[in-house]
Amino acid sequence: MTDATANSDAFRTDRRNPDGTVLRATTPAQWFGDDAPLADERWLFIVPHDDDAILGAGLLLQYAHHQGIATRILIATDGHQGYTRIEDRAHIADIRRAETRAALAALIPDAPSPDVHWLNFPDGRLRHFAGRFAAPAADANADADADAHNAFAYEVVAGHTGLANACTFHLRRFAPTRVFCCTGADLHPDHRALHEEILISLFHAQGSIWPELGAPLSHAPTAVEMAVYCPFPALPQLRLVASPQALARKLDAISAWASQTQIATLVQTVREGGPEEYFRVVDFPAYRPQMYRAHFTP
Ligand SMILES: [Zn+2]
């Protein structure tokens, strides 16, 4: 944690307003355009795969740490399909879990222990775990090729499972002020599926549905998209500019996924991008019939 002067030296946060002006924000609240006290900020990252949070927000995670903001990373998949060498196939989930912890340690060396949690849904099949449903019996909670990788032990809460169950539960439990997700415009089906589930879970978490998953949120978290492989579906409003040292830590962190033999290409792409990241706040305008009245008014 550092003081405000050091923060402003190490990180610059810009907000592009609808009128095209760009505001240099001095606090996270100003950046997001509200008045949340810094002490109340809690940032939840819900990502499909272990490397998505650092690829999309490796600088932002460092900024959050410098601001003293409580952060938690939820990783939806177990990563079992992410092997690039046949000899890793049986243990890739364990290998990637260790690499993830090493990556977070490289990203923020002075963090006591990163708050990271795996939901363990099967990698590459998130779309089949949309919604919420009663958890199958324990002996059915296994995959046909379970002996080829770590057997699934996806998260069950209150006898139910599914991405909406997990997201609603964790949103209520962590009560974030901001929720970060990968855009739904990505080509990767896991990214698309999780994006959809997070957005609907934001509504569930604020309502009274499924009371066994916790008390409804008393506030609406800001939904924020980060881009990983494909561009944003619409212009991002937020930019974070960090120091070359912060970019170096992000690159070191990404390099920790040594099992991903294609990682050098990704590192090169991130290096060329420089020490900046962009984020898009997602608005949910509620439908009102009067929105369309003018279209039918001569
Ligand atoms: Zn991913």
Q: Tell which residue, 105, 101, 107, has the closest CA to residue 79.
A: 101
- Say which CATH number the domain at 230 has: 3.40.50.10320
How far apart are the CA of 178 and the centre of ligand 1, in A? 20
**Cα-to-centroid distance, 290 and ligand 1 (Å):** 40
pTM: 0.91
- Cα distance between the two ends of the chain: 59
Domain that includes residue 84, residue range: 38-296
Mean pLDDT estimate for the chain: 90
pLDDT band at 138 (very low <50, low <70, confident <90, very high): low
Overall domain count for the chain: 1
Decide if 242 is inside a domain: yes
Give the confidence band of 177 by pLDDT, cuts at 50, 70, 90: very high
Please tell me what DSSP assigns to residue 294: G
Ligand 1 centre distance from Cα of residue 218 (Å): 30
Question: Ligand 1 centre and the CA of 9: distance in Å?
Answer: 31
Q: Within a domain: residue 81? A: yes
Confidence of residue 298 (pLDDT cuts 50, 70, 90): confident
- Ligand 1 centroid to Cα of residue 252, in Å, is 18
Kindly report, residue by residue over 144-161, the tens digit of the pLDDT. Answer: 444 333 345 888 998 999
| Residue 13 · residue 178 · CB < 8 Å | no
* Inside any domain, residue 287: yes
Distance 70 CA to ligand 1 centre (A): 23
- Ligand 1 centre and the CA of 53: distance in Å? 9
Phi, psi of 166 (to 5 degrees): -65, -45
The span from the CA of 52 to the CA of 58, in Å, is 9
Ligand 1 centroid to residue 73 C-alpha, Å: 13
Contacts of 81 (CB under 8 A, 6+ apart): 92, 122, 123, 124
List all residues 6 or more positions away from 140 whose beta carbon is below 8 Å from its beta carbon: none
What is the 22 CA–ligand 1 centroid distance (Å)? 30
Residue 3 falls within a domain, yes or no? no
How far, in Å, is the centroid of ligand 1 from the Cα of 205? 24
pLDDT in tens, 66-119: 999 999 999 999 988 888 889 989 899 999 999 999 999 999 998 877 799 999
Q: 225 alpha carbon to ligand 1 midpoint, in Å?
A: 13
The mean pLDDT of 268-294, rounded to a whole number, is 94
Residue 119, number of CB atoms within 10 A of its CB:
24
User: Is residue 233 a part of any domain in this protein?
Assistant: yes
The closest of 103, 94, 40, 93 to 73, measured between CA atoms, is: 103
Between CA 57 and CA 289 the distance in angstroms is 38
